[in-house]
Amino acid sequence: MCIMTFLKGMPLDLNSQAATDLTAYITTFSEGRRLEPGAMKIVPTPVPGAM
């Protein structure tokens, strides 16, 4: 979504090396939690003046 919406790019082919690498990179931030693509999103509270 970020690639298409904010960067105005084309979606990645889910079977491409780029998609696999991006998934592996994002997984490193999971801190052992199970990732559930498509699950309800947790949106952080905006910080005043940050954007």
pLDDT, tens only, 1-17: 666 676 677 777 888 89
Say what the pLDDT of residue 29 is. 82
Determine the Cα–Cα distance for residues 23 and 26; give it in Å rounded to an integer.
Answer: 5
- Token pair recorded at residue 6: 């904010």
Indicate whether 39 pLDDT > 70. Answer: no
pLDDT at 38 exceeding the cut of 70:
no
Q: CA-to-CA distance for 36 and 22, rounded, in angstroms?
A: 15
Angle at 14 between CA 8 and CA 16, to 5 degrees: 95
Mean pLDDT of 22-26: 84
Whether the model pTM is above 0.85: no
